[in-house]
């Protein structure tokens, strides 16, 4: 049972590390909101600027680029319909950005519990042995203390997995929120400019 708990803690640790590396790579600012797209969207005024922005979006695929392309393609629609379409697509993009974060959230919960399972099982074994043989001398008491120290390692390992996972989950969740606000601001500004002067 002890070995199984250690294996599960090891698998949890490796999974958590993999998700952290994956999300750190996927949530780079330049990958989600490329600087040149943000500048082109902010400065987009004329029809020529719109075509220039389209070329940038097609050349450099990104969540922001996909949303801007959608807004460009629906410029002839009423403003409210265009905004609604972009908002719906934005929700899908945000769900993609949040991929894997639920795994970190689960790890935050289960790693300490796995550690606790290992500790409880180990203590049951140690005290079960004492129940059969009893404590006859200081040597036995010393062995008991060593056994308990060994048992508590699983709880410590669980916490050492859980704490960095919690930090990573909080950081990535906040980053997705900031990226979403930035994309929303840029898309709303672009759409607003396309309808200036229209009746």
Q: What are the C-alpha distances in Å from 118 to residues 10, 40, 49, 146?
A: 13, 56, 63, 16
Alpha helix stretches (DSSP H) within 60-152:
63-73, 79-97, 101-133, 138-151
Which tens digit of pLDDT belongs to each residue from 154-190? 889 999 999 999 999 999 999 999 999 999 999 999 9
pTM of the model: 0.85
What is the rounded CA–CA span in Å between residue 11 and residue 145? 29
Q: How far apart are CA 124 and CA 122, in angstroms?
A: 5
Average pLDDT, the chain: 87
Measure the CA–CA gap between 2 and 5, rounded to whole angstroms.
5
Q: Is the CB of residue 107 less than 8 Å from the CB of residue 165?
A: yes
Q: What is the mean pLDDT of each run of 10 residues along the chain (199 residues)?
A: 83 95 95 92 85 90 94 91 94 95 95 88 73 58 69 89 96 96 93 77
CA–CA distance, 24 with 31 (Å, rounded to integer) = 11
pLDDT at 197: 65
DSSP 46: S
DSSP string spanning 167-190? HHHHHHHHHHHHHHHHHHHHHHHH
């Amino acid at each position: 049972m002890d070995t199984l708990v250690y294996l599960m803690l090891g698998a949890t640790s490796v999974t958590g590390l993999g998700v952290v590396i994956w999300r750190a790579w996927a949530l780079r600012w330049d990958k989600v909101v490329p600087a040149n797209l943000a500048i082109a969207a902010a400065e987009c005024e004329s029809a020529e600027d719109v075509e220039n922005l389209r070329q940038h979006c097609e050349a450099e695929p990104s969540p922001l680029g996909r949303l801007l392309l959608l807004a460009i393609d629906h410029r002839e629609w009423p403003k409210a319909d265009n905004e609604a379409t972009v908002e719906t697509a934005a929700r899908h993009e945000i769900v993609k950005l949040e991929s894997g974060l639920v795994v970190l959230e689960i790890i935050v919960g289960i790693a300490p519990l796995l550690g606790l399972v290992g500790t409880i099982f180990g203590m049951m074994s140690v005290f079960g042995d004492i129940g059969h043989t009893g404590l006859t001398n200081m040597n036995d008491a010393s062995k008991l203390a060593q056994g308990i120290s060994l048992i508590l390692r699983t709880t410590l390992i669980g916490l050492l997995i859980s704490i960095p996972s919690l930090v990573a989950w909080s950081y990535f969740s906040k980053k997705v929120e900031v990226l979403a606000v930035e994309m929303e601001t840029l898309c709303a500004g672009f759409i607003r400019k396309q309808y200036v002067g229209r009746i």
